[in-house]
Chain A
């Protein structure tokens, strides 16, 4: 049994937990709730074992000191670590707030990440470190970045819950915003499922996957008919979300979650994520770049997008503290912040580098 076995167990159990949390929300059956929590804990333990084993495997291949062997050096490993941080954060919240109702909103983020990993053909191979990555600053930079990403993911989930609970007008912006966000999330999930079923994905790199496979079975299909049908399906999902969104509101409110509590939790997650992101993501990243290349800041797309994300959250904090923004305005900002975070990580690596490659490497 190697690390991939335990990771496989974790993936399946997490997906199960996600389904259980959503059913728990729908049926309020406490037995299902216990199953959901148990599954999450089992998945978490299994993933922790997988992480430790991979660390050991990596150490044995690289032979460069135990710290340099932390398995956080490529897209696959970093996404897996993101899921780990997210689940850990979620378990802390479940335990602290003694409620399972957040599970249905946070575990799907882990679920879609795992789905992306599984179908993207993200290389799971252990690769020894190239020279630029042999730095202890990198370790601090990457770990802290992903802790902050997980915190931002949680703030996004609670902000959406806040919007779902408070938005009371069907044609008001907050209501439309959260239902459409939900629809985009569900549609991406389903579309990735279609990719998985209909295409034999054999991409060599995540970039190639994004360019050649992602959503090719649906939104980016060669056939105009399928693209049209997919768009109509998306509209339908969005419409259903919009039409029946108030049911979700009813469900959430029965769990004695007050808007204040959700707003407070959103703020708390950002108050943890922001300093960690600033220190680990921006400062340690700059120090590492300085030591490796002699440039602490070079305005490359990655750095620029980190800065944009940083600005969005700085905006959030100032709007809240100085301007006293509360309510849906600030919740929308938290969701935008996480969207920017996703782009900083995935978009820059996968989309912009794709945009900037001119067929030379394909």
Chain B
């Protein structure tokens, strides 16, 4: 930092502001406080919801006025407002300039290997221990190197002006951990910006059997995909005997230039990606219509299984017999109320059931409900009638995303994990051992320094002393 106040121009002033931790703290605080407002006020929703909320908090009279104020200041969509982006930008600038400001000093430390300590420096280090061994220095030196090796350090013998010091260090580069962590935040922000600039987020509801070449943004705007996507089928799997969903599945086909190029079955947590565009299973819906097709597999007693596909009200023939059938009722979620009456309990395909009237030689023979989820309902007097699906009534809700920046975000996450590990769990440890020959013996003084994790290091030093004394 520039300490000479008189020489400061405006550039230096700005630089000083941006390189200060104070700014970081101010930005942290403002981002946090405004974010709190952003979690209370619902974001990107119709005004009525927030006005109701404000009426709860401030009373009916004040609510519309407060809402207008919040809307004007961008608080109703604050995470994409210009001032919030500005805050994030200042945060990034602060991080960059802070790092540039401090890095050279740290870099110098990191680049310079351990050097011997002068007499005064040696004495200035408070954590010192002494070990006296018999024998001359020449015999002792290899022992010291050996002892250092045992605790995982590589010792170097330095002889300068008649004194001998053995130096060893570990984890010099760990001092960069903090900067690596800062860099990772910048990478994540960069990835996010690239994603916003060159990618899109859209959605697409695709009815079974239909194809689309576009997705839609939140405001309804069309986004061309560059290929076509078709939903072949959609299905919800339930846990046995409950309406708790187990899986949502869509069978999708990518069509490019009239050719089917990719088929995939997608689920929540298992999307489809083609040419940088990813389709996520996010919702579904049910829209009954006349063109829907009932699919059965019918096996007449003693006959072969045959697939039947038929629309509502149309009649079909069971081959090998003179029986015909006709779908005359349907319920997406058939239930039985306490008094035994049938009713539809949900507006989605929780328990699809179909009612079929069978005729023999044109005369009514029998009629029956078939439930897709309950095979025990498929038995009839003429064989089994498996109700496989009602196809063409459900649409799959896809989240469609293109985000060329996501890999930078992931990279940033990996870098952050490494940076945090280095910053918190690694430390720069240095050991100096001065060796002085005395009468019939050698006196060693051990000085050391570490920038973190002092307690674990002092245990290592105890081991070193024991090794030197040969007591291990």
Contacts and interface: CB of A to CB of B under 8 A. Distances in A.
Contacts of A185: none
Interface in A322-339: 322-323
A233 interface: no
Given A275-B424, A286-B413, A295 B53 contact: no
A229 to B, nearest CB: 26
B31 interface: yes
Contacts of B56: 355
Interface stretch (B20-28, B252-260, B334-342): B20-28
A135 interface: yes
Contacts of B400: 294
B42 A356 contact: yes
A311 B31 contact: yes
Contacts of B395: none
Contacts of B410: 287
Given A271-B424, A294-B201, A315 B25 contact: yes
Contact of B25 (A131, A275, A318): A318
B406 interface: yes
18 contacts: A128-B244, A128-B246, A134-B268, A275-B423, A283-B416, A291-B269, A294-B271, A294-B400, A294-B401, A296-B406, A304-B38, A305-B35, A311-B28, A318-B25, A323-B21, A352-B40, A355-B40, A355-B53
Interface string B416-434: 1100110111000000000
A308 B32 contact: yes
A358 B48 CA distance: 11
A294 B278 contact: yes
A130 B35 contact: no
What 5 A-B pairs come out closest when comparing CB atoms? A301-B39, A299-B79, A131-B268, A294-B401, A275-B420
Main secondary structure of the interface of A (DSSP, over half): helix
A131 B413 contact: no
Contacts of A308: 32, 35-36
Nearest to A137: B269
B49 A358 contact: yes
Contacts of A348: 39
B201 A295 contact: yes
Contacts of A168: none
A315 B270 CA distance: 37
Contact of A297 (B31, B192, B416, B420): B192
Interface of A: 127-128, 130-132, 134-135, 271-272, 274-275, 278-279, 283, 286-287, 290-297, 299, 301, 304-305, 307-308, 311-312, 314-315, 318-319, 322-323, 348, 352, 355-356, 358
Contact of A304 (B39, B49, B248, B278): B39
Contacts of B244: 127-128, 130
A131 B35 contact: no
Contacts of B268: 131-132, 134, 292
Nearest to A129: B246
Interface of B: 21, 24-25, 28-29, 31-32, 35-36, 38-40, 42-43, 49, 52-53, 56, 79, 192, 201, 239, 244-248, 267-271, 278, 280-282, 399-401, 403, 406, 409-410, 413, 416-417, 420-421, 423-425
A311 B244 CA distance: 38
A272 B49 CA distance: 41
Contact of A283 (B269, B413, B421): B413
B50 to A, nearest CB: 10
Contact of B401 (A130, A272, A295, A318): A295
B120 to A, nearest CB: 25
A287 B245 CA distance: 23
Contact of A318 (B21, B53, B413, B425): B21
B245 A131 contact: yes
B424 A283 contact: no
Given A278-B416, A307-B35, A355-B53, 16 more contacts: A128-B244, A130-B244, A130-B245, A132-B269, A283-B413, A283-B417, A286-B409, A292-B280, A294-B282, A295-B401, A299-B79, A314-B28, A315-B28, A318-B21, A348-B39, A358-B52
Nearest to B280: A294
A53 B247 CA distance: 26
Contact of B24 (A127, A130, A318): A318
A233 to B, nearest CB: 27
A294 B413 CA distance: 17
Given A134-B269, A283-B416, A358-B49, A352 B424 contact: no
A148 to B, nearest CB: 12
